[in-house]
Structures are given as structure tokens and as C-alpha cells.
Structure 1
Amino acid sequence: MNTLKAGFIGTGVMGKSMALHLLQKYENLSVYTRTKEKAGELLKAGATWSDSPGELASKVDILFSIVGYPHDVSEIYFGENGILHNGSEGLIAVDMTTSKPALAQEIFKTAKLNGIHTLDAPVSGGDTGARNGTLSIMVGGDEGVYEKALPYMKAFGSNIRYHGEAGSGQHTKMANQIAIASNMIGVCEALVYARKAGLDLEAVLKTISGGAAGSWSLSNLAPRMVACDFEPGFYVKHFIKDMGIALEEADTMGLALPGLSLAKELYEELSSAGAADDGTQALIKIWNE
């Protein structure tokens, strides 16, 4: 098999596990993250270090990035030491950050002028999916480029789907976040109700998770709520960012999304109370107060 030289930018809660899977499967991996210490485990495992996104882009054939916010994506792609100014012709750059569809389209167009191929490929599944290599990946861009990148995405994803032109991956992720937002309110209210009724919460979860109420959040995040485990698999602050993008996109389409609006208000209340760096399951704190 002709193996491409691979790179990874961003080694946070999810990125580190994703990069480890890539390293274990393909062995050659260059990494960059703003805080080098966060890449320590990867470097010990055999990854090589790059001092900037541009340096990394200049020495690999395919790279993946997952950073925090759209402005971080803009910086690593458009900055002087970024991917588009320094990547070699033919490079495949896959951004897995949840970001704005319009930004994905702008990156795609600019990259094409430089002979670089890009995909927008946000992920879902949180820290658990990243650790287990079972992430859902939603991809937009040229289908031929998607086919070339697919074997590498399979290192950390199990539900990978092509959705269309540049920006389509981001639009699909917005649909994903909209579904999760209202569901998280339902999960919290179900637990609060069961507790008030004097029920065994663990028994309730085992029962309702296997029925029509079942969801990823109910199976994976509700047990953390019961255990008062608010460690981040996905940050509250990043979920607020995602919901904001979704509401902006909905507004341009003339759509009203009252469930999403309520969820964003509740998460902003939670963030204002000091929980911005908690996991999204911390929403239960609003009812626990």
C-alpha cells in the first residue's frame, strides 16, 4: 500500500486520541499544537514535531486539523505560517473542527488556487468516540479527494459519510448539534423527574435507554450526570459556539428553531455560572442548583 505522510494539528480532548489512532495505523505522523506539552504522549509514541502549521503542511501529503473556533481555523489555514501559504501542491488538508460552512467554502476555493485539496469533515462522538476510534465523520468537498482521505479517516472513525460540495460537512454537523441540543434538555429533565419520584436512577437509565427514548446522550452522558462527573468530553463553551453557528445559518434560511434557542440560553446561563470548561453533561447543574 502506498502510504502518504500524515500530519495532525490540534491535540486536545479529542484530537490526541484521533492522532494516536492515526500514528498506530500508519506509523509516520507529524504533529503541531500551540502548547507542545499537550503533544507529549504522541511524541513519546513516535510522532515528529513541527513548529507551525505551515511547517507541518510543507512536509506531509495529508493532514488533519481539529481546533477550537472558526478564528482558530482561519489562523492555521490563512496565516503567514499557515497551511495554504506553505502546503505543497497536491496536499490534502482535512479540517475536522466544527466551524462555519462559509469558512469551509472559502478555504476550499483559496486552496484550489494553490493546488491544495481540502475537505470539511467535522466529527461527532465526543471523547469516547475518539478513544474508541468510532467517531461519526461528516464530509464535504470533492468526492475524489474524499475517497483518497477515507482510509486515513477510518483510523479513528467508523461512521463516515460524504455529503456533497464544500460546506456540506459543516451543515450536516449543524443538524447533528441541533438534534443533540434539545435532547440534552430532555435527558436532564428525565433524570430530575425520576429522582423526584424516588426512583433508582441507574435502573431507570438501563430501562429507558433501551426503548424509544434511547439516544447517544442518554447512554453516554446521563450516567456521568448521575455520577456528578463533569469532566469534558466536549466543552460547554464549544457547544455554545456550535449552537451559535447553527442559529446564524438558520436565520439566513429564514428558519425558527425554538428548541435550539432555548438550549443555547440554558448553556449560556451554565457558562456564566463558571462551567464553560465543563463537559456538556454539566447542563444538569441548572436543575441541581
Structure 2
Amino acid sequence: MEAKKIGFVGTGVMGASIVKHLISAGHEVTIYTRTKSKADALISLGAKWAATPAEASKGQQIIFTMVGYPIDVEEVYNGEQGIFSSATAGTIVVDMTTSEPTLAQKLYAQAKEMGIHSLDAPVSGGDIGAKNGTLSLMIGGDQEVFEQLKPIFEVFGENIVYQGNAGAGQHTKMCNQIVIASGMIGVCESMAYGLSAGLKMEDVLRSITAGAAGSWSLSNLAPRILNEDLDPGFYIKHIIKDMKIALDEAERMNLQLPGLSLAKSMYDKLLEEGYGENGTQALIKYYR
């Protein structure tokens, strides 16, 4: 695969691992993140440092963004030192933030006016998937642009699916987040029940992960719960953001999601108690 000049804005828990895969594949990567010291490890691997999103985007063929919230997406694209202030016609921008479908559609329209191609490409798989290069990608935008970028996506992803027009990737990610948020209730209640019953939970997991109850969260996050490991593969503060987006979109569609509403209320309580920087598996604290 021909080496590309790539800008990458946002090198957090997942972004940093993606950048490592891109560098290992021989691409020239320029990075921007708010705190430079957090990018030192990537710089030591060969990434170039940029002081602003605009600087990270200048002269790049592809620009990835992976930031926290829709307001951050808006800022890195449309801020005074944003991507759209320096990216040129023919560039491809790819937002991998889990964000609002309506914002993805807005960025697509803005990019098109500038001759820039835009994809919304949220991912799933958490820190483990990012480290292993096995992320699932859900892509919205023009299909021909998706096909052009698919070899790049394959550097850090496995399950790569084109979902439809701009915003379709974000809508698909909302489907994903609804399952994760609501499903963690089941995982944590199962753990709480088994522990209260005095079971050896490692043996319980050997039985139930292989049956109809099996899920990624049960296989990967339940062991973390047993080890009292609440480090984030995905932050509680971010799943709350995603649940709010999904509930807002559902309201626009006149759709009620009582399970998701319950999950959000539970996570909101944990946020109030100071668990926002922990992983979604910290929902177990609700039962303790």
C-alpha cells in the first residue's frame, strides 16, 4: 500500500493506538492533541507534532479526528485554527468521534463546498480493539470515498462496513451504544447476583460466556470487574454523552427507549459520585 500523508487530531486512549498502527504501516503521520506531553510516546515512534488542528491538516492527504464531544468536533473543524482553515480540495477528512448524525451531515455539506471529501467513521472495540487493530468501523458518506480509504481502515480495523450516506455511520454507532449501555446493566447485575450467592465468578464466566448470554462486554469487562479494574476502555462520561445523543435522536423520530433511559439515569448517578473518568464497567459500583 502506498504511504500516505496523514493528519490525526486527538490521540487519546484509542487514537494513540490507531496512530501507532498507521506509523507501523509506513504512513507519515502528523498529530495534534491538546496536551503535547501525552503525545511524547507517539513522537518517539516517528509521529510529527503540530501545534494546532490547522497545522496538523496542512498538506495532508487524509485527516482523521477522534475527540471527545460534538462541541470538540465543531471546534477542531470550524475553529479559528481548525481543519477547514487549512485543508485543501481533494483532501479526505474522517471523523471517528462518536458524535451527532446531524453534525456529520453538516460537516459533509461544508466539506463538499470546499471540494473536500468527508466520512463519518465511528468505531467500536474499545482500548483492546484499538491496541490489537481489530476495531469495528461504521462508515457514512460517499461510497467511492469509502472504497478509496478501505485499505487505510484495514490497518487498524477488521469489521469495516459502509452504512450509507453522511450520518449513517453515526446512526449505526448509536445502535451500538444502546446495546453497550443497556447490556452493561445485565453484565453488572449478573456479577452482583453471583457474588452475593457466593459463587466462584471465574467459573461462572467460563459457563455463561460460551452460551446464549455471551457478549463482548461479558467476556472482556466482567473479568475487569472481578479484578476491580475500573480503568477506562471507554469513559463513563463519554457513554453518557452517547446516550444523550441517542435519546435526542430517538425523540426526533418519536421513538421511546425506556431501557436506554434507565441506563442513562444509572450512569448519571455514578457521574455525580465521581466515576466519570472510569470505564463503563464501573457501573458495578451502582450495586455496591
TM-score, normalization by structure 1: 0.98
Matches within 5 A, 1:66-85: 66-85=66-85
Matches within 5 A, 1:124-203: 124-203=124-203
- Cα displacement (A) at 1:3: 2.7
CA contact (8 A) 2:8 2:31 kept: yes
- Cα displacement (A) at 1:50: 1.3
Tell me what 2:247 maps to: 247
Q: For 2:198 and 2:2, how far apart are their aligned partners in 1? A: 60
CA contact (8 A) 1:101 1:171 kept: yes
Figure out how many residues of one structure are paired with residues of the other and give that number.
288
- Cα displacement (A) at 1:27: 3.6
Tell me what 1:56 maps to: 56
After superposition, what is the alpha-carbon deviation per residue over 1:147-172, rounded to whole angstroms, capped at 9, x for unaligned?
11111111111111000000000000
Counterpart amino acid of residue 5 in structure 1: K
Q: For 1:222 and 1:160, how far apart are their aligned partners in 2? A: 26
Gapped runs of 5+ residues in structure 2?
Answer: none
Q: For 1:6 and 1:77, how far apart are their aligned partners in 2? A: 16
Counterpart amino acid of residue 74 in structure 1: E
1:155 aligned counterpart, secondary structure: helix
Tell me what 2:28 maps to: 28
Q: For 2:227 and 2:91, how far apart are their aligned partners in 1? A: 45
1:175 aligned counterpart, secondary structure: helix
1:29 aligned counterpart, secondary structure: strand
Q: For 1:193 and 1:88, how far apart are their aligned partners in 2? A: 56
Counterpart amino acid of residue 195 in structure 2: R
Counterpart amino acid of residue 243 in structure 2: M
CA contact (8 A) 2:14 2:127 kept: yes
Q: For 1:155 and 1:26, how far apart are their aligned partners in 2? A: 10
- Cα displacement (A) at 1:4: 2.2
After superposition, what is the alpha-carbon deviation per residue over 1:35-59, rounded to whole angstroms, capped at 9, x for unaligned?
1111111100011111111112112
TM-score, normalization by structure 2: 0.98
CA contact (8 A) 2:3 2:27 kept: no
1:224 equivalent to 2:208? Answer no
2:58 aligned counterpart, secondary structure: helix
Q: For 1:274 and 1:201, how far apart are their aligned partners in 2? A: 27
Counterpart amino acid of residue 253 in structure 2: M
Counterpart amino acid of residue 133 in structure 2: G
CA contact (8 A) 2:5 2:27 kept: no
Q: For 1:206 and 1:262, how far apart are their aligned partners in 2? A: 29
CA contact (8 A) 1:30 1:49 kept: yes
Q: For 2:224 and 2:4, how far apart are their aligned partners in 1? A: 39
RMSD, aligned CA? 0.8
1:263 equivalent to 2:263? Answer yes
After superposition, what is the alpha-carbon deviation per residue over 1:31-86, rounded to whole angstroms, capped at 9, x for unaligned?
11111111111100011111111112112100111000000000001112111121
Identity of aligned residues (%): 57
Superposition misfits of 4+ residues, deviation over 3 angstroms: none
Counterpart amino acid of residue 79 in structure 1: G
Q: For 2:269 and 2:44, how far apart are their aligned partners in 1? A: 40
Q: For 1:266 and 1:241, how far apart are their aligned partners in 2? A: 13
Counterpart amino acid of residue 256 in structure 2: A
Counterpart amino acid of residue 152 in structure 1: I
1:158 aligned counterpart, secondary structure: strand
2:138 aligned counterpart, secondary structure: strand
Q: For 1:150 and 1:9, how far apart are their aligned partners in 2? A: 20
Gapped runs of 5+ residues in structure 1?
Answer: none
